[in-house]
Amino acid sequence: MSVEHEKQRAAEAAAELVEDGMTVGLGTGSTVAHLLPALARRGLSLRCVATSPQTEEAALTLGLRVEPFGSIDCFDITIDGADQIASDGWLVKGGGAAHTREKIVAAAAARFVVIADSSKRVTALHPPVPLELLEFGLAATMRLLHPVSLRDAPRSPDGGVIADYHGAVDDPAGLAALLGATPGVVEHGLFPPTLVADVFVARGDSVEHHN
Ligand code: 5RP
């Protein structure tokens, strides 16, 4: 069974949670690319906010109503992919460099739902951890964060520089606190289990649902 098929199966299962009239946060990435048509097919009246220009464009093309983040201050549900899902519930996100907006939209949701293919399940998180950094003082921030590398990626839509932290991730809570407390770090890609309500992981044709 292909990875794309698993992504589609997980996305379609999560799309069933969405009800008419809901406010919906839309994540970013190739798994979310399967979510958008699954949502559009349901023909519900939704108010969506996208976490990236790519998601916004794809959602609008499918006829979903996308609004700026500002007119909505909370979501009934946010659905997004992940790069790693550890057995203790921690996530790594930001492979698509959208983790800052994704974390804001996840935190604003009553229910944050993660969708993934089976390759995203890991026993324990491993590097790299995506970062978004301020341009101001970039060299000094990188010195504090060592070992870190700049990613060959465009700036975020908010002007941030995308980088990756390559140190150990065996204490995600400690590392999240350290990264979050480092001046110049706009956001990091560690998402705590407390943020996550549901995880849908497809394995072959079946979908595991944890909540
Ligand atoms: C983007 C993300 C994505 O959700 C994550 O990279 C997973 O992507 P994909 O669904 O393409 O495997 O965090 O910043």
pTM of the complete model beyond 0.80: yes
Residue 67 has pLDDT above 70, yes or no: yes
User: What element of type H or E holds 114?
Assistant: strand 112-117
Nearest CA to ligand 1 atom 7: 82
pLDDT digits (tens, 9 = 90+) for 119-147: 999 999 999 999 999 999 999 999 999 99
**Mean per-residue pLDDT for 9-33?**
98
Q: Where in the chain is the domain with CATH 3.40.50.1360?
A: 3-121+191-205
Nearest CA to ligand 1 atom 8: 29
3-state helix, strand, coil in the chain (%, to 5): 30, 25, 40
- Look-up of token digits 């549901």: 198
- Identify the CATH number of the domain defined by range 3-121+191-205: 3.40.50.1360
* Residue 97 beta carbon below 6 angstroms from any ligand 1 atom: yes
Sort strands 112-117 and 77-80 into parallel, antiparallel or unpaired. Answer: parallel
Q: Which amino acid is at 133?
A: L
Sort strands 91-92 and 190-191 into parallel, antiparallel or unpaired. Answer: antiparallel
Q: How does residue 1 score in pLDDT terms, banded at 50, 70 and 90?
A: low
Nearest CA to ligand 1 atom 6: 95
CATH of 129-188, one of 2.160.20.10, 3.30.70.260, 3.40.50.720, 3.30.565.10: 3.30.70.260
Q: Where in the chain is the domain with CATH 3.30.70.260?
A: 129-188
ipTM: 0.99
Question: How much is the pLDDT for 111?
Answer: 98
State the catalytic residue, choosing from 102, 132, 135, 208: 102
Question: How much is the pLDDT for 71?
Answer: 81
Q: How does residue 200 score in pLDDT terms, banded at 50, 70 and 90?
A: very high
Q: Which amino acid is at 203?
A: R
> What is residue 147's DSSP assignment?
S
